[in-house]
A and B are shown apart, each in its own frame.
Chain A
Amino acid sequence: MGKRIGVEVSIAIADAVKLARAEVIPAYPITPQTHIVEHLAEIVANGELDAEYIPVESEHAAMSACCGAVAAGARVFTSSSSQGLSLMSEILYIPSTMRLPMVMVVANRAMSAPISIWNDHQDIMVQRDIGWIQTFAENGQEAVDLVLHAFRVAEDRRVSLPMIVNIDGFTLSHVIEPIELPTQEEVDAYIPPFKPKRKLDPRKPVTMGPVGIPEVYTEAKVAHDHAIKNSRKVILKAWKEFADHFGREYHPVESYKAEGADTILVTMGSISETAMTAIDKMRDEGRNVGLVRIRLWRPFPAQEFRAATKHAKVLAVVDRCLPPGAVCGPVGAELRSIFYKIPGAPKIFSFVAGLGGRDVTVERFEEIIDKAEQYSKRRPKELYEVIGVREK
């Protein structure tokens, strides 16, 4: 096992990609950028990683090159953020239904306008339905671990789907954290060489990505839907084996003092660390509160989430995304759906916080929990509430 050292999370992710022996890295460092692909460019240029680094002309081209490279049988990695991720959008739906595995780290950031480079989850929620497996990291170590896990899961022949590891922009991407990088031998033992189920080969011609006429399209999409739902088993097994190899255990949802809690806060990503501090404080004050963090966003772990919150009376769900005109934030909507008409289901209240880099402090979490508990007694007028909005 390697040494635990202070390193910028983006740099550590790039090092993890090197340890995973990525073979093709198409990247376009549009603003806002991270050091992930920048450092990978250095690693490749220095000859430390035998990979093809393709400095493409746009993020649209980056994702297109990723698809082509996987189709040719390469292990592929790229990374993006906010506007850049949106520029990839047209292509993002393609590798998933075509079953082309690759790994992308998204440093989550706000969408313009107004122009923002700061952290929230709006960029990835735009891409919620692209059919990729998606996880959310809480801290730097987890980001590195989830990247290694992603290669293992995505390329598993039973899965063969692209995978996104979400890390909070700035809050994680640009922060120096104590991170332990495994050794090359350890990573090689965890991630076997990529053996694609099929690839472009002149000796065995195949057409990938043909037209799906109305008589075929539905079945192609349903096959994809089943593939991502069935990936669950492999995702869990790969986490279990990760624990065996590296000693750190991961689950689709993470509970913190949630056992027997009446009110449970629900979060995704790095704000969960502040949320834990808030829970500690409130517990000290005698409040029966806990936290459940969603790590696996797609396929959505409904079963695990219900189990983690089964005794709760109130859920206070925090979304870092405000979809204008929608009934509530995407996480809130998901949870309301999985508990719909379930006997004894908790009352679910949806909050939007931490947009465009606005800090979500311990006090804000306390406010969210207080409000959720009040609303459980007296129903609020609105289906969601934006926290910390200044009116005048």
Chain B
Amino acid sequence: MATNDAIIGWKTITFGCDVVEPGNSANFRTGDWRSQRPVLDKEKCIKCGMCWIFCPDMCYSQTEDGYFEADMEYCKGCGICAHQCPKDAITMVPEEG
């Protein structure tokens, strides 16, 4: 069974519980919360980058061939990319298992 024991001591925790390392959210893999994933239909995609702009977790990045790809380590499956896509090229499909 999973536990949620302390990961830091009260003597070593930062002053006021500040996060002193900028951008450290990249260290936390949050993709395992996802119940559905975005699947791109490259036939419909016009490489406009709306998914990249709107993704609240900034998990999209552009690949060498110009398409935008979501990093499944961070994607929470919110579906905003699919909602924003002007060409309905992104479909949310349930995660299995």
Q: Residues on A close to B: CB < 8 A?
A: 97-100, 160, 197-198, 205-210, 212-216, 218-220, 222-223, 226
Contact = CB atoms under 8 A, between A and B. Distances in A.
Chain B interface size, under 10 / 10 to 19 / 20 to 34 / 35 or more: 10 to 19
Contacts of A197: 15
Contacts of A212: 17
A282 B92 CA distance: 82
A220 B13 contact: yes
Given A216-B7, A216-B8, A223 B19 contact: no
Interface in B4-37: 4-11, 13, 15-20, 22
A225 B25 CA distance: 28
Contacts of B17: 97-98, 209-210, 212, 216, 220, 223
Contacts of B6: 215-216, 218-219
A98 B20 CA distance: 13
Contacts, number: 57
A215 B17 CA distance: 13
Nearest to B23: A205
Contact of A206 (B5, B7, B20): B20
Most buried by B among A97, A212, A223: A223
B58 to A, nearest CB: 16
Contacts of A216: 6-8, 13, 17
Tell me the dominant secondary structure on chain A's binding face. Answer: loop
Nearest to B20: A206
Contacts of A215: 4-8
A198 B20 CA distance: 10
A208 B19 CA distance: 6
Contacts of B7: 215-216
B55 to A, nearest CB: 20
In this complex, the member of B5, B10, B19 whose beta carbon has the largest number of chain A beta carbons within 10 angstroms is: B10
A67 to B, nearest CB: 11
Given A207-B19, A215-B8, A218-B10, 10 more contacts: A198-B16, A206-B22, A207-B18, A208-B18, A210-B18, A215-B4, A216-B6, A216-B8, A219-B8, A223-B10
B93 to A, nearest CB: 29
A251 B10 CA distance: 30
Nearest to B11: A223
Contacts of A214: 4
Contacts of A213: 4
A98 B7 CA distance: 19
A215 B6 CA distance: 4
Nearest to B12: A219
A207 B22 CA distance: 7
B4 A223 contact: no
A215 B4 CA distance: 5
B9 A219 contact: yes
Interface string B67-79: 0000000000000
Contacts of B5: 215
